[in-house]
Amino acid sequence: MSTFKRNYCAGFIVLFSMLSLYVNAAVVNDGSVDADELFLYTVKKDDTVWGICKTYVTDPLCWKKLVVFNQLKNPKYIPPKSIIRIPKSWLIDQTATALVIALEGDVLVFRQNSKSEDALHVGDLLNQEDVVKSQGGSAMIEFADNSRLLLKENSTIRMANLQFYDATQLVSTRVELLKGRVKAQVEKLSNKDSRYEISTPAAVAAVRGTDFRVERKASASGDAVEMRTELLTGALTVKSDNNQQSITSGQGVLAVEGKGVLEPVRLLPRPLVTINESTSGTLPLLLEWEKIEKAAFYKVTLMTKNAQVWEKTIQAPKFLIEDVEFGQYQLLIRGIDDQGFEGRNRRINLDLSAPAI
């Protein structure tokens, strides 16, 4: 081998080694070795390292760094369905916004660069890091992929991550539940690498095409956070630092900070009502249903198309509706067990009209 070739090869090896050290040092320094700080990309047919970098990463040297970071033995061919790990700190900033589509009562927003809480209004756009706090009211929020989140009364959330790559329909949404309850309706994610997560200190609920509820509250001793997740449809995984549990439709799971995710439980069934599930009537209207075995309480929620009008917790299997504006509503009735899990909803479409004079 000529002196030139030997020097060239030696120089290349040194450069590649330095690059490896640089990449690994960068990963350690920014903490992206943590699984939560990695974007996991599933390789598709004809994908290349260059193409992946061009779509998702800002750094022009990405293709070199990605090879080192993933220890790719043959960068010219990546097998379909294999996983490429990309530190989130490398990703192109595709920050999205969320839209407030309905409000009931008082809801406040604290924006990242603001020094005060402001009243939230229908039509407002929420940005990453914004904190939304419901007082006695509720808010319906819609994300870039048309998924929706209902913030219940006396609850607080933070928009921890709002990312949307329009070209590939990749969504990365993470909502931090700081207090109270939320109900999420997540559209079926067209890009399998998309993420929709609701997090608390106890665990993270990661979902795909799912209708579910999450509650955060203090434990009975007050020294830990508890997270209750109730899955109505779809698939869901609840992950903590200790373990994880995948649950199916009609199951709930409790996660306790520092202890992990407990075994799933079966949610209470839908109550049987004495009226048709689509009904017209005048006010006052008395609703009655059969008592659900193991139900300690019941919850009754009145909804319009986009908003929650009110929500009541009661003990008896009956409820009198009065003092409501005339119109069309959806009523949700469910049982609550002695562990605090809310069961499956009985939905009743109500057309409330004024009494005849």
Residue 29: the pLDDT is 38
Q: How far apart are CA 339 and CA 328, in angstroms?
A: 33
Contact 56, 65 (CB under 8 A): no
- Amino acid of residue 118: D
Residue 354: the pLDDT is 66
Q: How far apart are CA 66 and CA 78, in angstroms?
A: 12
Radius of gyration of the chain (CA): 25
Q: How far apart are CA 57 and CA 65, in angstroms?
A: 11
Contact 270, 331 (CB under 8 A): no
Residues recorded for the chain = 357
Taking 70 as the pLDDT cut, the residues of the chain under it are 1-36, 167, 190, 208-209, 354-357
Q: How far apart are CA 336 and CA 312, in angstroms?
A: 12
Quick count: other Cβ atoms within 10 Å of Cβ 175? 25
Contact 238, 248 (CB under 8 A): no
Residue with tokens 């955060």: 216
Residue 164: the pLDDT is 84
pLDDT tens per residue across span 148-203: 999 999 999 999 989 888 767 778 899 999 999 999 998 777 677 788 999 999 99
Residue 353: the pLDDT is 77
What domains appear along the chain, each with residue ranges and CATH number?
Answer: 3-87 (3.10.350.10), 98-266 (2.60.120.1440), 278-353 (2.60.40.10)
How many DSSP H helices and E strands does the chain contain?
A: 3, 25
pTM of full prediction above 0.85: no
